[in-house]
Amino acid sequence: MKLTAQPQALSPRAALLFVNGFRALLLLVLFSLSLINGDSGHALIEGGPHFYLWSSVYLLLIAIWYLLREGSLGDTLQLTLAIAADIAMMVWLMAMNDGVRGGFGLLLLPYLAAAGLLSTGRYALFYASIATLMLLSYAGFERLLGNASQADLSFSALLSAAGFITAIATWQLGRLARASEALAAQRGGEIANLNHLNELILQSQRDAVAVLDEAGHLHQFNRQAERYFSQLQRGQLMPELLPLVQRWRDNGYPALSTFVQHNVRGRQLVGRLVPVPVPEGQLRGVVLFMRDMADMAEEAKRVKLAALGRLTANIAHEIRNPLSAISHAGDLLAEDETDPARQRLLRIVQDNARRINGMVEDVLTLGRRDRVKTETIDLPSFIAQLLEQFALVQPQSAGAIVCQLPTPCKLAFDRGHLAQVLSNLLANAWRHGSQGRGSVRLEAGTAEHHLILRVIDDGPGVPEAEQSRLFEPFFTTESAGSGLGLYIARELAEANDARLEYTPPGGVFRLICRLAHD
């Protein structure tokens, strides 16, 4: 998008303050000259009552102009009246000091120059016209009184012409200055927008990005780089990456990108080193794009699991119908079978059919993890209902599970997903605990905008060797388990913008989810 900026004059308030400051400075200089004696023993400017009256009037005008800068008069009108009054005061001063011959008429030129800088072309000419009118009127009046010669009239005309030239020249200079300022502001805005865009692109990179010069000093980085290097600051020396830059320098500053591999604080980083093209004579630099191999392996694992999940969901869908037929046929055969041996075989068929059906249901549930209907759930009432339903499956757990929940407490979660996650955690805790009163506890607390729900059992916990594989699909330590329970629970938690994790020692699972706000 191209921005077009029109040349703008100095803001009216700043213009009035600028002119007022110039007036005050000029008055101070003139008053000082009235107190300094020249070689002849007389003051450089004749003082006396007339000069002090003029100074008092001018000082009063300066004070009025300062007060009127916040007034209701238009800014252009204020500036016009001020310049006209300044011209009148300079003509008055000139009249007190030998008229045009005294040389004080030249003080009109700085005012016309300031007016030309602060206004547009027609106003600059208008101010020069006012000065010309006052000068020629004064010279004509003096001529009628016989106090001025023809030379005085000629000098007044030349001074008026100089005023026009000064006004036009300063107006042109001011216009060029304002155009340059507008262009600089436009370019500055474009550069700021470009820097903002570059920052967005830099921060959106999945790789850790670090920009370094040939001496190893850091010039730019993104948030991903802060994961690998702590307390990053621009301009600091990066000793961890210095060997990569040193190798690039030793190879003669090759212009092509190269593959790099480097170990930093126990992380195996891999990526690319891309040289930055710079003009001759400037400090060379490189851009490092790096990723942790562990993160890459985790990402590859997730992609593989996602593909496996789609495949298993399709397979489970195809298995479901024939499995239902097998289960139904087994039920029909069991109704008429009286032979104990055959009944035993049918029970084996039915049990395994139910087991396979449970695995199919788990896989199909995993395929529906993205169907989230978030709602506000009152945790105490929800847990009470969940424990009642759990007691129907595990009658011994009735009244044995201890809850410590804050009231009121509401969270944002899909109701069905939360029930499945907590049911799985409660079932695992009850199975691995002592199954006595208080062997399983539900505790909840808040931290910032999150609710932390803990499911704790008094069992031995997960062995350290198995903790890293705890949430992997199809990983189980029990022969009757499918190995999908905890994996599905974690996937459902992540689908609800929550996090499920195991916190050793002991059997403690922690679910961190969002608090709901009424």
Residue 413, token pair as written in the block = 């979660």
| pLDDT of 9 | 45
Residue 195 lies in a domain: no
Q: Does 273 share its domain with 319?
A: no
Tokens of 178: 């304002």
Say whether both 487 and 348 belong to one domain: no
310 and 399 belong to one structural domain: no
Question: Does residue 427 share a domain with residue 344?
Answer: no
23 shares a domain with 110: yes
Placement of tokens 């600028």 in the chain? 18
**Residue 189 covered by a domain:** no
Residue 385: its pLDDT value, please? 92
* 41 and 115 both lie in a single domain: yes
Q: Is 413 helix (H, G, I), strand (E, B) or coil?
A: strand
Q: Is residue 33 in some structural domain? A: yes
Q: Is residue 190 part of a domain?
A: no
In a domain, 5, yes or no: no
Considering the domain architecture, whether residues 82 and 130 belong to the same structural domain is answered as: yes
Q: Supply the Cα-derived Rg of the chain in whole angstroms.
A: 44
Specify if 38 maps to a domain: yes
Boundary (domain end) residue, out of 367, 395, 412: 367
DSSP character for 44?
Answer: S
* Whether 353 and 410 share a structural domain: no
In a domain, 110, yes or no: yes
pTM of the model: 0.43
Kindly report the CATH number assigned to the domain that includes residue 269: 3.30.450.20
Whether 389 is in a domain gets the answer yes
Tell me, yes or no, whether 54 and 66 share the same domain.
yes
Are 247 and 168 within one domain?
no
| pLDDT for the residue 382 | 92
Per residue of the chain (518 residues), give pLDDT as tens.
333 444 444 455 666 677 778 788 888 888 887 777 766 666 667 667 778 888 888 888 888 777 766 655 556 677 777 788 888 888 888 887 777 777 777 878 887 887 777 776 677 888 888 888 888 887 777 777 777 677 777 777 888 888 888 888 888 887 887 788 888 888 888 888 888 888 888 888 888 898 988 888 898 888 888 888 877 888 888 888 888 888 888 888 888 888 888 888 778 888 899 988 777 666 788 898 988 888 787 777 777 766 766 766 677 667 777 878 877 777 877 777 777 887 888 788 887 787 777 767 766 666 665 567 889 999 999 999 999 999 988 889 888 999 998 877 889 998 888 988 999 899 999 988 999 999 999 999 888 788 999 999 998 888 888 888 888 877 776 766 667 788 888 888 888 889 999 988 888 999 999 888 76
Alpha carbons 320 and 311: distance in angstroms, whole number: 14
Residues 254, 275 contacting (CB under 8 angstroms)? yes
Contact between 267 and 292 under an 8 Å Cβ cutoff? The reply is yes
Classify residue 198 as exposed, middle or buried by CB count within 10 Å of its CB (0-12, 13-18, 19+). exposed
Total domains in the chain come to: 4
Structural domain including 173 reads 12-183
CATH code for the domain in which residue 342 is found: 1.10.287.130
